[in-house]
Amino acid sequence: MTRFTLLLTVFVVLAGVLAACAAPAAAPTAQAPSGPQGPGMGMGPGQGAATGMGQGMGQGASNSMGMGAGMGAAPGAGMGDSGAWMDDDGDMMGDDERMMDDEAMMWGQPVTAPGGVYRDISVDDLQAMLAQKDFLLVNVHIPFAGNIPGTDLSIPYNRIAAQAGQLPADKDTPIVVYCRSGAMSTAAAQTLVQMGYTRVYNLQGGFNAWQAAGLPLDMNP
């Protein structure tokens, strides 16, 4: 290497060193101080009735974020579901009561009549109904020949409409009619249906069938 080349190389190296020394020092990267962790409990949407828990986010004083399981809308949703269930229970109870009412209408066999339907019941049906009596029992036979125990009224079958004032004003009141053999009570049942009564029962076979089953008649008018 010639002296000239050596001098040129030294000159280039010195120039680079001087340039590096002359450049301003780079500012150190500032490290932002970390703030305290935010609160762990937060309000957040719940997962519904399935989990009852929600994820909440807490905001710290230095904008740090804290994550925590929060009791958010889930308990409300759970309580809401429970309330709906209670409401449903209330509705079901209401339905049960209506089903019990409808079950009372299931005694006997339905018979279509002008204006509606009445039901023919047996002696066994009437005995079961009398065990929890919630109906009006009417003897429509003429002339008088005895009452089934528990009878409330005696109205001639052909005077039902004329003596309507003796009957309940509520047309949904259950009414059971009977006579000696069932012919007169059938006519009475048809009349009651035409009058708008919705829960009418006719004892098939009348008190003849009642006595044939070994059951007593009250002979006092």
Q: Using one digit for the tens of pLDDT, what is the confidence trace for 63-72?
A: 333 334 344 4
Does the structure show a pLDDT above 70 at 165? yes
Reported pTM: 0.56
Q: How far apart are CA 125 and CA 107, in angstroms?
A: 6
Say which of 123, 177, 179, 189 is annotated catalytic. 179
Q: Establish whether 179 is a catalytic residue.
A: yes
In DSSP terms, 178 is beta-bridged to 139
Picking from 143, 200, 198, 159, the residue whose alpha carbon sits closest to that of residue 177 is 200
Distances in whole angstroms, Cα of residue 120 to Cα of each of 23, 114, 177, 189, 209: 115, 15, 10, 9, 13
Strand partners of residue 118: 111
138-160 mean pLDDT: 97
Question: What's the CATH number for 109-212?
Answer: 3.40.250.10
Pairwise CA distance, residues 129 & 143, whole Å: 26
Q: Is the pLDDT of residue 183 over 50?
A: yes
Phi-psi region of 206 (alpha: psi -120 to 50; beta: other; left: phi over 0): left
Token pair recorded at residue 111: 């018979």
Q: What are the structural domain ranges in the chain?
A: 109-212
Residue with tokens 């050596």: 6
Whole-number mean pLDDT of the chain? 72
Q: What is the pLDDT of residues 3-48, one digit of tens each?
A: 656 656 656 666 665 555 555 544 444 444 444 444 444 344 444 3
Amino acid letter for position 55? Q
Q: Which residue has the tokens 């429509």?
A: 140
Does 109 score more than 70 pLDDT? Answer: yes
